[in-house]
Structure 1
Amino acid sequence: MTPDQYCQEKCATSGSSFYYSFLFLPPARRQAIMALYAFCREVDDVVDECNDPALASTKLAWWRMEVERIASKQATHPVGLALQAVSPEIEISAARLNEIIDGMEMDLQQTRYLDFTGLSLYCYRVASVVGLLAAGIFGYRDAQTEKYAHDLGMAFQLTNIIRDVGEDARRGRIYLPIDELKQFNVPAADILNARYSDNFTALMQFQYQRAERYYQDALAHLPACDRKSQRPGLIMAAIYRTLLEEIRAENFQVLHQRISLPPTRKLWLAAKTWIKG
């Protein structure tokens, strides 16, 4: 199996909505974005699948060394080799790869966030940085597109947090800020024990509105000259925003289940968005 095949399989088997936006790209850009996504999956899996925080920290340190090896063209892992082989016209900086690892390390260091300021740093590292790298892979001419990529990454991560409230709670994590739980009078125990209430629904509506604002701001900041090149991001936005609306339509019943869109609907949204341009 070649490094590119490894990355493609990593993307395809993840079940992520992002995979559907990659299918429409030309080969060089598709290989680059799949290598980046595979890197994100590898470091995220370290945190999600390793029960020993010390061991997970050691593994993330190994990935930091692999980032250095990628930069010096001495990568050893299939994902590192794939990133190393990315076309010179496409920049995937070591600094930003390390920022993604910084975000993963936050999951090892804390399971709660006092306020949105702290949570937004986490979202920036694990999602907005990826968005900025992805925007570079897709190609853009106007620097304003970086604002679009940042806000879209925030919107995606906030959607993930809303979708995964119950799943994260079963892992002992609550990403919803503590001050907002208090504001809406939702005890952490309700989330950890999957207890619904009117207060919980109001809290989630508040989270929904924040995520929706990020989608609106992102799309408002995308310059017309870069809209065509950024269509993969627009595909992701169409899928994730539809998922967010689906969660809202289900009255935020996210404590006992993981709401998702079927693959056929994702593919339909992807094709529709690509054709629309």
Structure 2
Amino acid sequence: MDPHRYCQERAAASGSSFYYSFVFLPPDARRAITAFYALCRELDDVVDECHERQVAEAKLDWWRGEIARFAAGAPEHPATRALHDTPQGRDIPADLLLEIVDGMAMDLDHPRYPDFKSLNLYCYRVAGVVGEVAATIFGGPRGEHDRDVRRYAHELGLAFQLTNIIRDVGEDVRRGRIYLPQDELARFGVAEADLLQGRDTPEFQALMQFQFERAAAHYENALAALPAGARRAQRPGLAMAAIYRTLLEEIRQARFPVLRARVSLTPLRKAWLAGRTWLFP
């Protein structure tokens, strides 16, 4: 199969909010971000779908070798081949891709996080770096804006990951993982058994409101950091932000039913939010 077709089908099948945010891009940038997204999905699936640790470790090691081949100009996997086939993709530093692999590997060793500081490293690797790479692919003004755009991208990536953590609390705990920091569980009086047994207590509601407020603050920080001159180029990220912020607010308004249900937006609503943001960034 053609590598770009493989990535397109991988992205479309996921139904992710990310897919809706970059359908408006010019062809070259759209192919690059679609390939990058497909690569991230491949890496994420290693840990989610491999139930034996040794198998997951072996696959992640293969991906480290594949990234080395990507850097050398000879990738083998359809996602990395498609990424290397685009000018924007070839410019991605291999070190950043390896950071993402290292982030996925943390799921093998860290089913719990003692505090937000330790969780922040995980979020940086699996989301902040992804944001930085995506912002580079989207392009826009360079030079004086670079530092601010990188800050925007990292803040936005963190906000996305915190939203995912809130949305997936029940699903993650059933997989044996708890991304809510342990010291915050203790502070709000929520036991792991409460999560495992789906107890929607007043203490759990207070804990989740705290998580909501932190995620919302990172969205605000991201948007405040983005220079006005870069907003047009970063429309795909802003479209993602519109979708994810709406999802976060939906979860809050539904009183955080995340222990037993997965809140999501309809494809039509995602497309509408993305289109509106693209037209009016």
Residue 25 (str. 1) matches residue 25 (str. 2) = yes
**Deviation digits for residues 146-174 of structure 1 (CA, Å, limit 9, x no counterpart):** 10000000000000000000000110110
More displaced stretch, 234-243 vs 79-88: 79-88
Give the partner amino acid of 1:212: A
Which one of the candidate residues 227, 241, 244 is aligned to 1:240? 244
Match of 2:150 in 1: 146
Deviations 1:22-74 (A, max 9, x none): 10000000010011110100010000000001110100000000001111111
Identity %: 60
Aligned to 2:35: 35
Aligned twin of 1:210: 214
Structure 2 Cα separation of the partners of residues 88 and 203 of structure 1: 41
1:1-277 maps to which residues of 2 (within 5 A)? 1-87=1-87, 91-140=91-140, 141=142, 142-143=145-146, 144-277=148-281
Moved more, 78-87 or 101-110: 78-87
Structure 1 residue 91, shift from structure 2 partner:
2.1
Deviations along 1:156-212, whole A, 9 cap, x unmatched? 000000000000011011000000000000001111111110000000000000000
Matched residue of 2:87: which SS? coil
Residue 47 to residue 89, structure 1, CA distance change in 2 (3 Å): closer
Q: Secondary structure at the match of 1:169?
A: helix
The offset of 1:15, in angstroms, is 1.4
Contact 2:155 2:222 in 1 (8 A): yes
Structure 1: which 5+ runs fail to align?
Answer: none
The CA RMSD over aligned residues, in Å, is 0.9
Structure 2 segments unaligned to the other structure (5+ residues)? none
- Residues 48 and 5 of structure 1: is their aligned pair in 2 closer, same or farther, counting only changes over 3 Å? same
* Aligned-partner Cα distance in 2 for 1:167–1:270: 26
- Partners in 1 of 2:25 and 2:93 — Cα distance? 21
**Amino acid corresponding to residue 162 of structure 2 in structure 1:** L
The letter of the residue matching 2:11 is C
TM-score with structure 1 setting the length: 0.99
CA contact (8 A) 2:84 2:90 kept: no
Which runs of structure 1 show a deviation greater than 6 angstroms over 4 or more consecutive aligned residues? none
Contact 2:88 2:137 in 1 (8 A): no
Cα distance in 1, alignment partners of residues 250 and 150 from structure 2:
28
Q: Tell me, what secondary structure is at the counterpart of 1:229?
A: coil
> Contact between 1:166 and 1:256, CA under 8 Å: does it hold in 2?
yes
Distance in structure 2 (CA, Å) of the matches to 1:202 and 1:251: 10
3-state secondary structure, aligned to 2:111: coil
Q: Is the Cα contact below 8 Å between 1:90 and 1:137 reproduced in 2?
A: no
